[in-house]
Every structure is written in C-alpha cells, then in structure tokens.
Amino acid sequence: MMNKDVDDLQSQLVRRNKEIEIIEKVASQINKNLDLDKIAKTMLVSMDKYFDFKHSMILLFDQTESFLKVIATHGYEDEGIGAKVEVGIGVIGVVAKKKKLMRMANIGSQRRYMQTIKKQVELTDKVEPKKEIHLPGLPNAESQVAIPMLIEDQLIGVFAVESDQVNIFDKSDEMIIRILANQTAIALQNANLYKLEQKRLEELDKAHAELAELNANLEQKVLGRTQELVELSTKLAKYFSPQVYESIFSGKLDVKIQTQRKSLTVFFCDLQGFTQLTERLEPEILTELLTEYLTEMSKIAIKWGGTIDKFIGDAILVFFGDPETKGKKEDAVACVCMALEMLDRLEELREVWLEKGFTKSLKARMGIHSGVCTVGNFGSEDRLDYTVIGNGVNLASRLETSAEPNKILMSEDTYLLVKDDVKCLKSKEISVKGLSYPVQSYEVSGFSSNSSLYSAKLMKSIPGLSLQFDPDEIEDNERAMKLISDVLSRLV
C-alpha cells in the first residue's frame, strides 16, 4: 500500500515537473511576441497541444465601452472573431465583472432547464426574445472554465475553456489555466501597449508630415510675402534718403510729427541755365539728362553720409548731422568733400553729354552753411515730410545763389570748422532775409596740402581710365614714373 502511495506521489511529481516545463515553454512563446492576435492564437494552440484543451477562446476587455471582444478561438467551426459580450451577462460576463474564476461541471442540464424556463416566460408574458450574443461554443457543452486575465487588479480580458464531457476539468486544470492566463494577460498587455505606442507614433508621423507640409506651404507663403515686402520696401526706399529709410525701419525714428533743434551742415546745389535748357529740349531727353545727373549726385551724397532732403527740379538739398552724425567738424568736412567730388563728376558728365550732342555746358553753383536748424517730421497725420527748416537753410540757399558757376561758397561758420582741411578764399559779404547783419562768405579752392584728405582729392575716373594717386604710399618713385610714362605713351 505504501509503495502504491509513493508511486502515485512520484507520478504526480513527474506530471507537475512536466506541466511546469510546458508552462515555461508556452510562456516563452507568447512573451516574445508583440502581436495581439498571434499571442492569443499561440496560447490556444499550445493549450490544445500540451494539455488537450480542444475548445477555447480569449476575449479582450474594452475599457472605453465596457464590453469583452473575442480576439481568438480554437476548435470551433464558427470562429466568432469580433463577437461582443457585455460585462455581467452570461458566465464570461460575470467572470469579467467579479474578476473571479468560474468552473461549471454539468452545464448541459442547467442549460436545458434555463431554456425551458425561458420559453415558459416568453409564452406567458409574450416577451420579445432578447437578441442573442453569437459566441462560438459547443452545442452540447457539459464543462466550462472561465478565468479573468488580470494584472494586479486590472482586467485585461477573459480566458474560457469548455468540453462536451461532464466534469472534465479538475483543480489541476484550473491551476494550469490560471498560470497561463496570467502569463497571457502580461503578454497581451505588453502587446496592447506596443500597439498603442505604434498607433501614437503613426499619428505623430502623420502629424509631423502634415506639419511639414503646412510649414512648407507656410514657408512658401512667407517667402512670397517677404518678397512682396522686399519689393515694396525697395520701392518705398526710393522716396527716402537711405539714412532716413534705415532709421525708420530700425525703429530709431518714429513716424509721427516731431522735430528737434540740431547742429547741421546744409548744402544747396543748382545748375546754372537749366531752366532755359528745359524750354529747348524734348521732355524725354530732358528726363534722361536730369535722371543721370541726379543719380550721380545722389551716389556721391550717400557715399559721404549726407541725408538727401529733396530734389526741386535740378536743385538738390542735402544736410549732414541727422539722423546720424559723426560730429560737427566731421559732418562739415564730409559735406565739402561731397561738393568737390560732385564738381569733378559734373565735369565728367559734361564730356559724356557733349558726345551725345548736348552742346550746352551745364555748371553748378553750391552753397554750404553750418548751424542750428529745426529738423524732423513736418506735415499732417496723413502725410509727413522729413525735412529741415530755419534761417540756416535760408542762408545755405542764399550762398548757393551768390556762388559763381562751378564754385562752392560757404559761410564763416562752416569755414571755421573745415579750415584745417580745406583751402578757402575770403569772398564777399552777402545779405540774407531774416538776418540783420551781412554774412561773410568763403570760396572753396581745394584741400590743404597738409590735410589727410589731400591724397583722396587726387582720384580720377573716366571710361577706360581710373587714376588714384597717393604720394605718401608710393615706395618706388622711379617705378611709378615709368608706369605713368608707359600709360602716356599708349595715349599718343
């Protein structure tokens, strides 16, 4: 008798070891997969292969809608994938609700009894039959085990096994089913999380693609709009002096009515005889000539840092010291440098115009004064002019009209600022409206030889020839003379 008991225990031990080995093998197979359907199907096939559970199914719990959904079945003619079970309805629904295992040993007689009661109720109360949930199942099932798949207390789904034999499942089967159900729950949870993460990544990729497309379209629109603004600003810039334009767009200058008293150097220039010339020239030719003249003079004014106030026909008004200043003296010297370069350039233009048939020799008169003026935005809320006004402006204009052709006349205030760099001859006294005293004027004759600007004066450029002569920078005089002689010999 004792030997028989020992044999039974030994047999049970062998069986348990075999079961543990199989459970580990099945767990390994399902845990290395991240596909929900494959995990569920692998589990059911393994249960049949190793433990002879011929008919089984796995249902997943949908938390959002609170129902169970069949994701895998094994051993049924009708797979029933996608069939739904409400929580609390039927054995599987009750297991999901209570989160406890249920084992049914003789469900055939119970089913027949419930069907009889149901028919009697329907006949007596004439109640409409409820819509059946079409789950796969054995028509003559006698035994069933349904177990909740849990992670801690969270319901993942339900695992159900059934058989057409009475009381076929014992405690040992329950243990195996429970262990594998728990392993399956973990694998399904991991797979579900992976699926959700993949879906999230797909949505992110889609969102990124849509955002990239939106950004590309937006960038294209921005580039187009930027190009429009650049073109517009380029057009608007032509109506402003560069210094004023840059000050407005940089925010240094407010676009509102405001003025200030400031030390400036004001420059006036006018072409002698231009009014008479307009009466003889065709409008197109006159426009071409005037445009070329004003363009060249503007380049020089901008080069020396002058603010171009306005053009009045052939007359030019430029001032130095606002919106940016390098200092009173520096502004005055820059203005004289500009005026001298303008005279040189006008001489070159006269030669060009002569070749085009303009026999009239146009000469410029220029006036310069340094003093306190009122500068800023004048006008109305709808139309502003950035300009300069005051007696200083009137004096510069009066000096210009008093100058000889191709001469620069400056006030004593300007002379005192530039006398170290500019050679001047004392000229006549002039009367200015608004001033009770005559103003001493000085005529510019060139740069002082001891001025750093002297070498800059010795720069010439005509079509086909450019000359820059700075004696302080020449190291080999003989070589320089030979180079100049070579150039001269080619001109003969």
> How far is it, in rounded angstroms, from Cα 18 to Cα 10?
12
pLDDT at 1 over 60: no
The pLDDT confidence band at residue 205, using thresholds 50, 70 and 90, is confident
Mean pLDDT of 120-147: 67
What is the distance between the alpha carbons of residues 278 and 298, in angstroms, rounded to a whole number? 21
Q: Burial of 278 by CB count in 10 Å (0-12 exposed, 13-18 middle, 19+ buried)?
A: middle
**Per-residue pLDDT at 113:** 45
- Report pLDDT digits (tens) over 362-381: 899 999 999 999 888 777 77
Cis bond before residue 323 (omega within 30° of 0): yes
CATH architecture of 2-200: 2-Layer Sandwich (3.30)
Looking at residue 121, what is its pLDDT? 45
Sign of CA dihedral 224, 225, 230, 232: positive
Among 143-147, 244-248, 419-423, 429-433, the range scoring the smallest mean pLDDT is: 244-248
Given this model, what pLDDT does residue 154 score? 87
> Would you state the pLDDT for residue 114?
45
Q: How confident is the model at residue 28 (pLDDT cuts 50, 70, 90)?
A: low
Among 3.40.50.300, 3.30.70.1230, 1.10.730.10, 3.20.20.20, what is the CATH number of 255-491?
3.30.70.1230
Mean per-residue pLDDT for 388-416? 93
Question: Is 74's pLDDT higher than 70?
Answer: yes
Can you name the residues that pair with 7 across neighbouring β-strands?
none
Share of the chain above pLDDT 90, in %: 21
pLDDT in tens, 242-274: 666 566 556 555 555 567 899 999 999 999 888
**What ranges do the domains of the chain cover?**
2-200, 255-491
Q: Is the pLDDT of residue 280 over 50?
A: yes
pLDDT over threshold 90, residue 418: yes
Whether 145 and 101 have beta carbons less than 8 Å apart is answered as yes
Taking residues 66-93, what's their average pLDDT? 87
Q: What is the pLDDT of residue 117?
A: 45
Mean pLDDT of the chain: 79
Q: Which two tokens stand for residue 328?
A: 């009173």
Cα–Cα distance measured from residue 415 to residue 370, given in angstroms and rounded to the nearest whole number: 9
Short-list 375, 249, 245, CA closest to 320: 375
Which is more confident, 343 or 275? 343
pLDDT (average), residues 309-325: 90
